[in-house]
Amino acid sequence: MHGKVAIVSGAAGGIGEAVVRALGAKGVKVLGTGRNADKLRALEEGLAGAMEFAFIAIDATADTAPRAIVEAAIERFGRLDVLVNNAGSFNFGPVDQTTDVMLDEVLDISLRAPFRLSREALGTMGEGGSILFIGSTWGLYGTPGGGAYSAVKAGQIGLMQTLAAEYGPRGIRSNYIAPSVVRTEMTTAFWDLDFFRRTNHELTPLQRDCTAADIGNMAAFLASDDAGFVNGQTIAVDGGISTTRYVSPVAVGAVRQ
């Protein structure tokens, strides 16, 4: 991986930063994107001396964004090998309570933007390239209240599989990482609520939280030659919640009122 170049969208967030750091540890040069220039600049300063990192502060949904992002990577680092579509919207709710404004936001940020950025990156990538989507287990199974969020995460899987089929013959691999809920700025406010614990922690066999580093490490692996024959796959990083019927002993023994 040493000397390869990656674009990571949503780079200044919890998972995005973890992906940047995991790639950097393998010698990858990274262009991070996001809307908050101050956060990206702080990340750049924090990584100084540890890896080569640059950023472009841009709205990923803007018509000019895909070309601007790819051109920035080429101008700064001279090539493009890896694209990590991480930026997304955490706007969710029941379908009958999802407004068109909510729907359009999720579609624009989490499906249209990565579609367009992937399309632009494909014009530059060659053999050995890798496109990754950081999605969610909510794209794997039905979830009450998932609404547009779940629909878009499932749509990302369809896009990834299509890319894998269409561009695999060019040596470009595409894969999808499906984390369970990770404790970040977006989720920490409800992390310890009883409802959240019942529907997440008590249904997960592994008795620890999923961390941003878990996702970053998986992204670095899938982008590397160690995963050179992994293509078109959805890899759940979820402690087993999506493939088991585990219920914690505390939940099993709970007395109904």
CATH number of the domain at 154, please.
3.40.50.720
Let me know if residue 250 belongs to a domain.
no
Report yes or no on 257 lying in a domain.
Answer: no
Question: Is there a domain that residue 203 lies in?
Answer: no
Contacts 24+ apart (CB under 8 A), 245-249: 246/203, 246/204, 246/205, 247/202, 247/203, 248/201, 248/202, 248/203
pLDDT in 10s for each residue of the chain, 257 residues: 899 999 999 999 899 999 999 999 999 999 999 999 999 999 999 999 999 999 999 999 999 999 999 999 999 999 999 999 999 887 888 999 999 999 999 999 999 999 999 999 999 999 999 999 999 999 999 888 899 999 999 999 999 999 999 999 999 999 999 999 898 877 787 788 888 888 888 999 998 989 999 999 999 999 999 999 999 999 999 999 999 999 998 888 888 77
Question: 11 lies in a domain?
Answer: yes
| CA-only gyration radius of the chain, Å | 18
Active site residue 176: no
Count structural domains, the chain. Answer: 1
CA distance 24 to 3: 10
User: Catalytic residue among 149, 167, 176, 246, which?
Assistant: 149
The dihedrals phi and psi of 112, each to the nearest 5 degrees, come to: -65, -45
Q: 3-class SS at 231?
A: coil
Confidence (pTM): 0.94
What confidence tens digit (pLDDT) does each residue in 24-45 have? 999 999 999 999 999 999 999 9
- Could you tell me if residue 249 is inside a domain? no
Residue 173 and residue 230 in contact, taking contact as beta carbons nearer than 8 Å: yes
Domain extent for 138 = 5-187+210-243
- What pLDDT was estimated at residue 192? 83
Task: Give domain status of residue 28, yes or no.
Answer: yes
